[in-house]
Amino acid sequence: MPRPINGITEADRLPRRHPSLWRDAGRRLLRNRLAMAGGIIVLAMVLIALLADVLSPYDPIKQNYNAILEAPSLRHLVGTDALGRDALSRLVHGARTSMTVGIFTQLIVLAIGLPLGALAGYGGGRTDNLLMRFTDIVYAFPELLMVILLQTIFGGSIYMLFLAIGLVAWTNVARLTRGQILSLKEREFVLAARAMGATGAVIIWRHLLPNSLGPIIVTVTFGVPRAIFLEAALSYIGIGVKPPTPSWGTMVQDGYGAIFSFPHLVAFPALAIALVMLAFTFLGDGLRDALDPRGR
């Protein structure tokens, strides 16, 4: 495809072909092997979470006082915890909580952060100032207090957890999006698109966002393990899943107490989290490459 120097493609002038940019990206993503490996891992984790009842060798909440704090063995592949529960079964069931938390919170973060940041960056001036001062307030906001309050008013359901994390974690994405758009919006290709009468929304969606996604995807990838750990921290003040329901974060946190004698209680859930993070990293990198029209 002939490509003018200022980055405007054929598609810019032909509105009916607009979806092609994102569809092309999808096609390119499917061809990226690492990204596909990442996708398969994520899919596998989701399947494990869904099929936890079938897959786990033991009941994850059944306590066995004759098998407390056992090292990994053939009977218990990754050992048992302080109440004699099979750690593998808890790991498998923990995927439910932790995958849900990891993915949903990041979707919330994107849903709030992207539009807010884009609006501030593209709108500029007073809009930018007001939105960014609001972001400053949220960033310095004592969320610990708010979370304790939420727990007592609404009880500690998992929805409260999404609310608690989602409401404060979007600030980085918003500021990043704004920064990217601030630096891109005066570029030639954007000016050209504007000169050709493209509306703000079109410019943001077709030119600015695809070109600024790289760093945003990275922070969102890091947001996944952060959210998983935050879930564990918050479960200690009664938000999120309640014991005895397992989650990877709480397994790490509970295992930390006896880390000197039984490091495996921390190691295995941490490995699971690392695997998910790695999968999202590959997927994110692939997505970035795929969206970059000049990348390959």
Partner 1 sequence: MPMNKSLSKSVMVAALLAFSFLLACAPGAAPQAAKQELRANLAAEPETIDPNKAAFSTQVTVIKQVFQGLLSFNQDLTLKAVVAKEVPSVKNKGISEDGLVYTFKLRDDVKWSDGQKVTAKDFEYSIKRLLDPALAAQYASFYHDIKGAKEYNTALGTPKEPKKPDEATLKSLRGGVAVKATDDTTLQITLARPRNTFLQLMALWATYPVRQDIVERFGAKWTEPPNYIGNGPFKLTEWVHQDHITLEANPNYWGTKPKLQKIVLRMFTDLNAEYAAYLNNELDMTRVPPGNEKQIIADAQFKTQLLRNNEMVTLAFQFNIAKPPFDNALVRRAIATAIDRETFIDKVRSGVGRVAYAWIPSGMPGHQPDLGKQYKFDVAKAKKLLSDAGYPEGKGLPLTSFQYADTSGNRVIAQFLQGQMKDNLGITVNLEPMETKAFQQLVGQKKFQWSFFFWGADYPDPDNWLPEVFGTDGGNNLTQYSNPKLDDVLKKAAAELDEKKRLTLWAEAEKIVIDDSPVVPVAYRERFFLIKPTVKGLKTTSMDATLPGDWFYAEVSRG
Partner 2 sequence: MSQYILRRLLWLIPVLLTLSFITFALMHLVPGGPWDREKQLPPAVVENLNRKYGLDRPVWLQYLSFVANTLRGDLGISYVHQDRSVTDIILNALPITATLGLLALILTVALGLSLGTAAAFHQNSWLDYICVFYATSFASIPGFVLGILMVIIFSVTLHLLPTGGWGTPEKLIMPVIALASIPAAVLARVTRASTLEVLHQDYIRTAHAKGLSQHIILYRHTLKNALIPVLTLLGPEVAYLVSGSFIIENLFSIPGMGRLFVQGVFARDYGLIMGTVLFYAFVVAVANLVIDVLYGVVDPRIRYD
Binding residues for partner 2, rule: CB under 8 A, are 5, 7, 124-125, 128-129, 132-133, 136-137, 139-142, 144-146, 148-149, 152, 171-172, 175-176, 178-180, 182-183, 186-187, 211-212, 214-215, 217-219, 221-222, 225-226, 229, 232, 252-253, 256, 259-260, 266, 270-271, 273-274, 277-278, 281, 285, 288, 292, 294-295
Size of the site for partner 1 (CB under 8 A): 29
Count of beta carbons in the 10 Å neighbourhood of residue 252: 22
Interaction of residue 36 with partner 1, rule CB under 8 A: no
Q: Which stretch binds partner 1 (CB under 8 A): 13-21, 149-157, 163-171, 172-180?
A: 149-157
Task: State which residue, 181 or 198, has the beta carbon closest to partner 2.
Answer: 181
Phi first, then psi: give them for residue 71, nearest 5 degrees.
-75, 160
Yes or no: say if 181 and 211 are a contact pair by the CB < 8 Å rule: no
- For 51-96, the DSSP string reads THHHH-SS-TT---TTSTTPPS-SSSTT-B-TT--BHHHHHHHHHH
Helix, strand or coil, per DSSP, at residue 167 = helix
68 binds, among partner 1, partner 2, none (CB under 5 to 8 A by kind): partner 1
125 binds, among partner 2, partner 1, none (CB under 5 to 8 A by kind): partner 2
- Residue 46: closest CA among 6, 89, 98: 98
243 binds, among partner 2, partner 1, none (CB under 5 to 8 A by kind): partner 1
Yes or no: say if 92 and 48 are a contact pair by the CB < 8 Å rule: yes
| Virtual torsion, Cα 96, 272, 232, 168, nearest 10 deg | -90
Measured distance CA(225)–CA(44) in Å, rounded: 17
195 binds, among partner 1, partner 2, none (CB under 5 to 8 A by kind): none
- Matching residue, tokens 């033991």: 58
Binding pattern to partner 1, positions 45-74, x when CB under 8 A? ----------------x-x-xx-xx-----
Count H helices and E strands in the chain, helices first. 14, 0
Task: State which residue, 58 or 229, has the beta carbon closest to partner 2.
Answer: 229
Task: State which residue, 200 or 293, has the beta carbon closest to partner 1.
Answer: 293
Interaction of residue 19 with partner 1, rule CB under 8 A: no
Q: Taking the complex as a whole, how short is the minimal distance between the CB of residue 273 and partner 1, in angstroms?
A: 19
Yes or no: say if 169 and 252 are a contact pair by the CB < 8 Å rule: no
Burial readout 27-44 (b: 16 or more C-beta within 10 A, e: otherwise) = ebbeebeebeebbebbee
Interaction of residue 259 with partner 1, rule CB under 8 A: yes
Q: Which of residues 186-245 bind partner 1 (CB under 8 A)?
A: 235-238, 242-244
Q: Taking the complex as a whole, how short is the minimal distance between the CB of residue 291 and partner 1, in angstroms?
A: 19
- Residue 70: closest CA among 264, 286, 296, 223: 264
Q: Taking the complex as a whole, how short is the minimal distance between the CB of residue 273 and partner 2, in angstroms?
A: 5
The binding site for partner 1 (CB under 8 A) comprises: 61, 63, 65-66, 68-69, 82-84, 148, 151-152, 156, 235-238, 242-244, 253-254, 256-262
